[in-house]
Each structure stands twice: as structure tokens, then as C-alpha cells.
Amino acid sequence: AKEAPFVVQGVLALSDTRDEDGGFLCVPGSHRISKEWALINEWDKRHYPGQLRPEKDDPLHNHIEKIPLRAGSIVIWSGFTFHANHPNQSDRWRVNQYLRMYPVKTTRFLPYAPDERDYPEDFRPKITPLGRKLFGIDKWEEEKEEEKEKDVTEDQKEKKEKKGWFS
């Protein structure tokens, strides 16, 4: 089996999160046992790789801790940590920004809707070439010379032709 890449994840709270607002929960320290747990439970043969979800009767549930957050707080964890969100049971919004970081050399991220036609017209992603790299859709490779030229403005082209870049 292919070794899973080290992934760092996080959640930045943009609003206070009370217990009844739902929010982040995890099994602290589970990053140390999640690979072994997946092997013992033959997880990769039954489920989507990388999505570890213990069954309701799994003893891991006895170790779940809810992590309340105040606006401006951030929680960062290993992607191998068992984690989830518990449901919002209040009338308040829970506003967070989620983060995921992994080595550039890993398999690129595949969006859940790989075909942009799966998105409503108004919500189709409009991503720049740099954004495509930052989101992991495209590889980080040296740009071809003609691609670099596209990024040069007309004023810069004129200056280059008349005086050279460093004149």
C-alpha cells in the first residue's frame, strides 16, 4: 500500500463557537494509532481512502473531545487525527475557515465535482493559473516562456522593447 502523505489541517474560528453551535471535535493523540487502526479494520478496502470514520460502536468514541473556539482562535492538527464536526443545534451561524496543507509532491487534490459543468452557472469556479496551482489542481512546474510573456503588460512590453528591462 502507498504511504499516505503527511497532511496538516486546521480550522480558524471567525465567530465564537458555543457547544450548542456545533463545531470541531477530535480524538486527541489518535494520529499515533490511525494508520494501525485503518489496517486492523481493513478500512482502505471498504471506504474512500483517507476518510477514517469509526463505526458507532468503536471504542474510539469514548475518547472524543469537543473543542470550543473563540473568534480568532485556530486549531491545527495532523491529518491522521480522527476529527469531525458535531451538528449545530442553535439558531446561530458557525463561521470558520478550514485549512489543509500537504507536500507539493503528493497526489494533487481532486475537487469533489471534477467537471465544472456539475456546478450551477453562477457558481462555476473561475480560477487563475496561480490559483489552480495553490489549490493543487495543477502541478508546480516551470512556466513555459510563452506563458510568462502572457503575464507581461503592454506597458512592460513597450519598455522592454525601447530600453530593455533594466534601463
Query: Residue 71's pLDDT is what?
Result: 96
Say whether both 59 and 76 belong to one domain. Answer: yes
Last residue of a domain, one of 64, 79, 107: 107
What pTM was estimated for this model as a whole?
Answer: 0.61
Which residue range is the domain that position 142 belongs to? 108-161
Same domain, 102 and 115: no
Which of 1-5, 19-23, 51-55, 66-70 is least confident? 1-5
Can you give the pLDDT at residue 113?
A: 47
Q: 24: domain CATH number?
A: 2.60.120.620
Does 63 share its domain with 99?
A: yes
C-alpha distances (whole Å) from 112 to each of 7, 44, 45, 115, 135 are: 18, 19, 20, 9, 13
Same domain, 39 and 81: yes
Indicate if 17 and 34 belong to the same structural domain. Answer: yes
Tell me, yes or no, whether 114 and 103 share the same domain. Answer: no
Least confident interval from 32-36, 61-65, 74-78, 134-138? 134-138
- How far apart CA 75 and CA 9 sit, in angstroms, is 8
Query: Which stretches of 2-128 are DSSP H helices?
Result: 34-40, 43-46
Residues near 89 by Cβ (< 8 Å), separated by ≥ 6?
Answer: 20, 21, 22
What's the pLDDT tens digit per position in 129-157? 888 888 777 888 765 555 555 555 665 66
